[in-house]
Structure 1
Amino acid sequence: MASAPANSLPIFYNDLIPLSTVDHADYRTQPVDAAPFLVTQHAVPLTIDEFVSAQRFVPIIFSAGQDSVPLALMGLNEGVNVFVDDEGKLRGPAYIPAYVRRYPWMLAKLRPDSDELSLCFDPTSKAIGTEGDGPVLFENGQPTDVTKGILKFCEDFEQAAARTGQFMKDLAEMDLLMDGEVAIQTPNNEQPFVYRGFRMVNEEKLRDLRGDQLRKINQNGLLPLIHAHLFSLQLMREIFEGQVSQGKGPIAVPAAPVPADA
């Protein structure tokens, strides 16, 4: 059975193998009510298709470095996620990124010399296996509607990821991204807690756009996405206060909100 090298796996995935009608003929999906892999994950990849829904619940930021990607910020300090408890169960209303909902599935290349993508899964996940009474993945050697639905979700995710890549390319070409910084003052500390290590849209440069560039972001739908990102940044303080209320607030100089390898 083909398996992806551990060092090439995206976050959350411990292993990756292709779904097979032979090897997994008796596999089923299993209901899960928790995502323990989310407990210490404070930033999760986000597609632009999710910006409007996500901006009501989480700050939308961009990772540091040259090849920035959008991230849903679920905690300001590394290792803290205010939306789930210690078991990975939701604490209340939240937006769960498609990247999380896709797990343990994803489309992946089985051979580096081919562009063909195959439906794969993480065999270490409890969401799939031979036990339990969940829906089967195959009947008479053919994918069930459940499997077809999983494949469709993964295909839609890949298409959204491609649109997100183009969005990031457009932002870079217009030089609209800048290094971000958020300072949060609390009554019990003389100095504010300052968070860096992420990128955000430069509002001054956005306001100065003229002519062809302004028409471009109006016509291709970039402007609402940029505004969703900017509006969402107001939630930074709510995330901070959520950390404090859960006893996970910073007690010294806080960590950057985005890890270097995100």
Structure 2
Amino acid sequence: MASQPAAQLPLFYRNLIPLTTDLHLGHGLAERSELGFARETHAIPITVDEFVMAQRHYPIVFSDGADGVPLALVGLKEGENLFVDAEGKWKEGTYVPAYIRRHPFMLARLTPEAEVLSLVFDDSWNIVTEDADNKLFDAEKQPTQTTKNILQFCEQFEQAIARTKSFMDELNKLGLLMEGQAQIQVPGMDQPATFAGFRMIDEKKLQNIRGDQARKMVQNGMLGLVYAHLFSLSQMRELFAVMNPDLPRP
């Protein structure tokens, strides 16, 4: 249910090229009016920096595998995002994950040997065009404030990814993750609706960790993130209700 895609490029990215003055001196950033590119995805990667905001709207779970990441579930069915409408508009009043807001830009190594990350973007979405007025470089070939803001956002996102990796490493070290399953009992249905295919915190193991481990989790803020995840799981019921508007609310 919540496994990461196996594609070579990251989710939503189809063709990455570097942003350079040689190729994009006269280009600008077009205004994006819709987020339809995320319509057929039910799980969006998020960072620990987003847990507090995301848990208000989405169940936060963890993907399978050794390199699992936190995911905000925007749907309970493969290929269905309940927060993007037919016009590509994200549901008003709900948090839009940073992974969505970063698109089509990101930081990447241009070669395996590169020691620094470069600003790249997916040119297949026609967001960077010669027709756009919001230019990315000035006449002196210097980055405009728009480009500086994009770069800053991407740098902050990479820093958040590093913090998230540390969080995941610690969860695995403590053995707190288990295979997850959510059951939703709906009035009038003989069997509960069951959803699986993700990982979650094992509450029994959490309750039985050593005192020194618990103190460390409190001091480094990890315990708050764990409870944000656990509280967020109640949003499964809300997603189920949105997905099945004709059924009685669970």
What is the TM-score normalised by the length of structure 2? 0.92
Residues 75 and 125 of structure 1: CA distance in aligned 2, closer, same or farther (over 3 Å) = same
Q: 2:56 aligns to what?
A: 56
2:203, 2:115 → 1: CA distance? 38
Asked if the contact 1:32/1:126 (under 8 Å) is kept, the reply is no
Answer yes or no: is the 8 Å Cα contact 2:46–2:71 preserved in 1: yes
How many residues in Structure 1 have an aligned counterpart in Structure 2? Answer: 241
Does the Cα contact within 8 Å between 2:25 and 2:136 map onto a contact in 1?
Answer: yes
Q: Matched residues in 2 for 1:117 and 1:162: separation?
A: 14
1:230-253 Cα offsets, whole Å, 9 max, x none, are 0000100001111113x8x9xxxx
Aligned to 2:78: 78
**Where do 1:1-262 residues align within 5 Å?**
7-133=7-133, 135-139=134-138, 140-245=140-245
* Amino acid in structure 2 at the alignment position of 1:110: L
Q: Is the 8 A contact 1:177 1:199 kept in 2?
A: yes
Q: Tell me which amino acid in the other structure corresponds to 2:24.
A: H
Measured after TM superposition, the shift of residue 7 of structure 1 is 4.8
Instruction: Tell which deviates more after alignment, 217-226 or 84-93.
Output: 84-93
2:241 and 2:234 map into 1 onto residues whose CA distance is 12
SS of 1:183's equivalent in the other structure is: strand
1:167-219 residue CA offsets vs partner (Å, 9 max, x unmatched): 00000000000111001122343222110000001111111122221121111
Task: List gaps (5 residues or longer) in structure 1.
Answer: 1-5, 250-262
Equivalents in 2 of 1:191, 1:33: separation in Å? 42
The CA deviation string for residues 12-58 of structure 1, in whole angstroms up to 9 with x for no partner, is 00100000011100111111121111111110000000001111111
Q: Distance in 2 between matches of 1:71 and 1:58?
A: 9
- The offset of 1:115, in angstroms, is 2.5
**Shift of residue 8 of structure 1?**
2.1
CA distance in 2, matches of 1:76, 1:120: 32
Q: Distance in 2 between matches of 1:167 and 1:100?
A: 21
Deviation at 1:87, TM superposition (A): 2.9
Give the Cα–Cα distance (whole angstroms) in 1 for the partners of residues 242 and 142 of structure 2.
47
Residues 7 and 187 of structure 1: CA distance in aligned 2, closer, same or farther (over 3 Å): closer
CA shift, 1:92, in A, is: 2.3
Per the TM alignment, residue 127 of structure 1 is displaced from its structure 2 partner at its CA by 2.2
Deviation at 1:166, TM superposition (A): 0.3
The letter for the 1-side match of 2:87 is: E
Offset at 1:66?
Answer: 2.6
Structure 2: which 5+ residue stretches go unaligned?
Answer: 1-5
| AA aligned opposite 1:120 | V
Q: Normalized against structure 1, the TM-score is what?
A: 0.88
Question: What letter matches 1:137 in structure 2?
Answer: L
- 1:257 corresponds to: none
Runs of 4+ in 1 over 4 A off after TM superposition: none
1:72-122 residue CA offsets vs partner (Å, 9 max, x unmatched): 100011111111112321232211111110000000000111221100000
